[in-house]
Amino acid sequence: HFFTPAAVTDLVEVIKGESTSPEVFERGVAFVQSLGKTPLRVQRDIPGFSMNRILNAALREAVDLVAEGIASPEDLDVGLRLAYGCKRGLFEIADYAGLDTCVLVRQSLIDLGEQALVSRSDLIEGMVSKGYLGRKMGKGFYRYTPEGKRIP
């Protein structure tokens, strides 16, 4: 599983399927390494991919905090950067991935019976319905220039 955008993201999940032999799995790992990328060895296939599930769990809580009026997206992103050394905050990541993509991931988890993994809030769905898709459309949790740079 290549992360978006694949050209600049170094991590690739190599997922061992139920019938994948150890040799084929290691060939996948070697292929990812030959591309100059770092393989994340995932020992069995799960809905939502391992890194996306971790991100989704954190984003679920962050979206609920915003929807409940506890904190702003910007304050939470600053907090994550300063408290934990994150390169980007959760809302910056969501804007970068695309809020429409976040909605699709949420719906696929619901369809798979994984309701516990999704936010209680429809905040992002509401934003998408108003055309707030994130960086690619110039507006999401933040505003962006046509070149994709965040406007302070």
When divided into structural domains, the chain yields a total of 2
27 and 87: one domain? no
Rounded mean pLDDT, 67-76:
98
38 and 90: one domain? no
Residue numbers of the domain that contains 34: 11-42
Q: Give residue-wise pLDDT tens across range 28-54.
A: 999 999 999 999 999 999 887 899 888
Strands of the chain (E only): list them. 11-15, 38-42, 143-144, 150-151
13 is catalytic: yes
CB distance 67 to 53 below 8 Å: no
Q: CATH number of the domain that 136 lies in? A: 1.10.1040.10
Among 13, 26, 114, 125, the active-site one is 13
Determine, yes or no, domain membership for 80: yes
23 and 90: one domain? no
Q: How far apart are CA 106 and CA 102, in angstroms?
A: 6
Q: Give residue-wise pLDDT tens across range 74-106.
A: 999 999 999 999 999 999 999 999 999 999 888
Determine, yes or no, domain membership for 126: yes
Determine, yes or no, domain membership for 61: yes
Q: How far apart are CA 16 and CA 102, in angstroms?
A: 25
Q: How far apart are CA 125 and CA 92, in angstroms?
A: 17
20 and 78: one domain? no
Determine, yes or no, domain membership for 60: yes
27 and 57: one domain? no
Q: How far apart are CA 126 and CA 24, in angstroms?
A: 43
Determine, yes or no, domain membership for 5: no
CB distance 83 to 62 below 8 Å: no
Determine, yes or no, domain membership for 85: yes
81 and 135: one domain? yes
29 and 99: one domain? no
Lowest mean pLDDT among 96-100, 115-119, 120-124: 115-119
